[in-house]
């Protein structure tokens, strides 16, 4: 996961991006975007961060961090488990089932309107219905 890097305009809150965003959440909260592991091409780091838009350089990282935090908060303890496992360096395949459920809930371009517990109940009901019909 060290070679993965996204520009802010590339963020669509996919599962892979959510894993990456959560791993960099503390940096995003501070208003900084994670550094590109391939480098920027500049030989010296500038002392001042410049922005070509009307917004401050820290707005986008803070907005994305707030969105990730809001989505995580809705998942309760399972979201906290997801964050802990990501900070331990676990990959998608190594996550506990509870963490995967939370990741599936928080991923996607739009926020889910359905509360997490209702979403889980519907998912279990659909799974049960499919098993009964076959």
C-alpha dihedral sign at 26, 28, 31, 33? positive
Q: What is the dihedral of CA 16, 21, 23, 28, to 10 degrees?
A: 170
How much is the pTM? 0.81
Q: What pLDDT was estimated at residue 124?
A: 76
Of 125, 127, 75, the residue nearest 103 (C-alpha): 75
Average pLDDT over residues 27-55: 73
In this predicted structure, the answer to whether residue 12 has a pLDDT above a threshold of 70 is yes
Asked if residues 14 and 74 have their Cβ atoms less than 8 Å apart, the reply is: no
Q: Please report where in the chains the tokens 């208003």 appear, as a residue.
A: 31
Q: What is the mean pLDDT of the chain?
A: 86
């Amino acid at each position: 996961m060290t070679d993965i890097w996204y520009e802010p305009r590339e963020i669509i809150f996919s599962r892979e991006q959510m894993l990456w965003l959560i791993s960099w959440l503390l940096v995003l909260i501070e208003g900084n975007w994670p550094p590109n592991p391939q480098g920027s091409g500049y030989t010296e780091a500038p002392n001042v961060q410049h922005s070509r838009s009307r917004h401050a350089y820290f707005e986008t990282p803070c907005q994305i961090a707030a969105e990730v935090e809001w989505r995580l908060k809705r998942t309760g303890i399972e979201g906290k488990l997801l964050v802990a496992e990501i900070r331990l360096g676990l990959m998608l395949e190594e996550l506990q089932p509870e963490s995967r459920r939370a990741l599936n809930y928080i991923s996607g371009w739009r926020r889910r309107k359905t509360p997490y517990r209702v979403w889980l109940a519907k998912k279990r009901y659909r799974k049960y219905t499919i098993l009964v019909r076959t």
